[in-house]
Amino acid sequence: MHCLLDDHKGHDTVPSAIERKEKEKKLTDSQTKVKQTLQTKEKELQKMKMDIGSHSDSAKKAVDNSKKVFSELVKLIEKKTIEVIEEIKAQEKADLDQGTKLQKKLEEEIAKLKKRDEVLEDLIQTDDNIQFLQNYESVSSSSGSAKLQSFSFRPYCSFDDVGKLICELTKRLETTCTQEISKTLNKVSDVSAKRPSFDIAVGDRVRVKPSVVTPTHKWGSVTHSSVGVVKKIQGDLLTVDFPEQRNWTGLVSEMQHETSTGSDLSTKNGPVSIKVGDRVRVKPSITTPKHNWGRNVNNKSVGVVKDIKDDDSVVVDFPGHANWKGILAEMELVTNDEEIGPSNLDSNIKVGDKVRVKPSVATPTHKWGAVTHKSIGVVKKVQGDSLTVDFPEQKNWTGIVSEMEIVASAASGLESVIKIGDQVRVKPSVVTPTHKWGAVTHKSIGVVQKIHSSLESLIVDFPEHKKWTGLISEMELVTGADLDDIKVGDSVRVKSSIITPKHNWGGHVTHKSVGIVKDIKSENVIVDFPSHKGWKGILSEMELVNNADADVSGSS
């Protein structure tokens, strides 16, 4: 009505009922299309549910078939085991029956010979010459001088050979099973890897999949914990803005959606919800922090957040460095799940446990003494945050509970923990190594240069024998305690854990100096260093240096 007035006569007008009818027709058309689309989507949903159910059934069937096949394989092996055992027992019985018969024949012959011996003895002992001569012919003709049959037990089967054949069969079965099962697992992994990440779109929050060890286009400053926003997608490639790195390039197939809410992963201070009191460490992708590493801090160090500043900086108390300063973007939270290893069982350390100093602790609060990172000792006493440990190198050593970690049995010397760079020697229980001694002895200590896991062998550089080959199972790790076996003529240096030697440094001797042992008297040692002849030290402060290290140290 307002538009019919004089001031608004320039406007086109139409009754509201007619206009509604026009608009209603358009809405009806739109509703019809929506209903058609809804029906299509509901059909798609129904089909998807059926496909998901079918896929789940297929997986269940594959699991059931796998169980059935392996169960049948186990039954087959058990059946064949019984057959082999029965055959061995049957052959044993046949051989024993034959042996029993031979034994009986031999016993009968012995009995006959004994009787003949008695007859001969009686005749020889008779005093009547006439009787002797009358019986001589009959007795002498059956005196047993004829060649007798020789008896010996010769079984048809050597059970030692059977044992060797069974061992060879076991190895072949293990190899075949491992190879074939690996093929199956690889096939499943290949199919899984080819699954398209079709649902990732520009604007989505993503991270690198945990299954991707190293992205095709490398990490840069990104880690598995990094969460970024997709900026661009071109075919199989996508560009992501991470807090640590802008315009990061990766493959769509290597990424996954970040399902956590934004509030869980971002704050005004940084990309992660780090707060005062949290346990944190420097991200593995950070080579050098903005404010540098400082004293005793590295990527493995775990500390507690003490303060967070408005400028995105953070103050952390590490075991080896209090009030360390860093920036939030370079830090990551350390959860309990990540710290299930021995290094996080501080609060569970008790008397009798085997422990060592954590790798992240550069220098313990109460100093090293004769102890090193490789030293393993037994807890003697725990009082509050302090503990007393008996190490082979030093009794009644005092340390802080938070600086120690429990050592599992494997870490104390099983061959499974031997790695490249470790110092090793042949186990005392090995009389002769499989690949022979060469110039090596039980006292020889060498450095692992290469490990062939598939062959269960390793290459070791000994001072007496370079590129020596041995079996991992025949070797043992050499700990700090073992290295006390220093003798005259060995190349040695002062342990890196010793701040100042008992008899001082003297001359130009440093941690890098390598010298030759000239004399050993009880715990004292005399060393000829290039810069200081006749240098005096104590054995527990020294460590052996192999030739390779000596060359490097000498050149430096």
CATH number of this structure's domain 342-411: 2.30.30.30
* Confidence at 28, pLDDT banded by 50, 70, 90: very high
CB 360 within 8 A of CB 341: no
* Sequence-ordered list of residues with C-beta below 8 angstroms from that of 361, at least 6 positions apart, any chain: 296, 319, 320, 403
Instruction: For residues 179 and 177, give the distance between their C-alpha atoms in angstroms, rounded to a whole number.
Output: 6
* pLDDT at residue 503 tops 70: yes
CA atoms within 13 A on the CB side of 471: 9
Q: Which residue has the tokens 């004293």?
A: 295
* Confidence at 260, pLDDT banded by 50, 70, 90: low
* Sequence-ordered list of residues with C-beta below 8 angstroms from that of 272, at least 6 positions apart, any chain: 225, 265, 266, 328, 331, 332, 333
Query: How many C-beta atoms lie closer than 10 Å to residue 230's C-beta?
Result: 20
Q: Structural domain boundaries of the chain? A: 16-141, 205-265, 279-333, 342-411, 417-478, 485-555
The reply to whether domains 342-411 and 485-555 share a CATH topology is: yes
Instruction: For residues 340 and 337, give the distance between their C-alpha atoms in angstroms, rounded to a whole number.
Output: 6
Domain spanning 417-478: which CATH class is it, in words?
mainly beta
Give the tens place of pLDDT for each residue, 201-216. 888 889 898 878 889 8
Length of the chain: 556
Domain spanning 485-555: which CATH class is it, in words?
mainly beta
CB 387 within 8 A of CB 404: yes
Among 61-65, 409-413, 445-449, which is the least confidently predicted range? 409-413
Instruction: For residues 215 and 223, give the distance between their C-alpha atoms in angstroms, rounded to a whole number.
Output: 10
Predicted local confidence at residue 541, as pLDDT: 79
Predicted local confidence at residue 552, as pLDDT: 42
378-405 b/e (C-beta count within 10 Å ≥ 16 → b): ebeeeeeeebbbebbbbeebbbbbebbb
Instruction: For residues 49 and 55, give the distance between their C-alpha atoms in angstroms, rounded to a whole number.
Output: 10
Query: How many C-beta atoms lie closer than 10 Å to residue 491's C-beta?
Result: 20
Share of the chain above pLDDT 70, in %: 82
**Region 400-408: what's the mean pLDDT?**
80
Exposed, middle or buried by CB within 10 Å (0-12, 13-18, 19+), for 330?
A: buried
**Region 455-459: what's the mean pLDDT?**
79
Predicted local confidence at residue 454, as pLDDT: 59
Instruction: For residues 139 and 167, give the distance between their C-alpha atoms in angstroms, rounded to a whole number.
Output: 60
Give the tens place of pLDDT for each residue, 1-24. 666 665 565 666 778 888 888 888
Predicted local confidence at residue 448, as pLDDT: 87
Q: Which residue has the tokens 């020294």?
A: 542
* pLDDT at residue 416 tops 60: no
CB 144 within 8 A of CB 113: yes
In angstroms, what CA-CA distances link 460 with 187, 465, 549? 36, 8, 14
CB 376 within 8 A of CB 411: yes
Instruction: For residues 173 and 156, give the distance between their C-alpha atoms in angstroms, rounded to a whole number.
Output: 27
In angstroms, what CA-CA distances link 436 with 39, 114, 431, 459? 78, 55, 10, 13
CA atoms within 13 A on the CB side of 308: 18
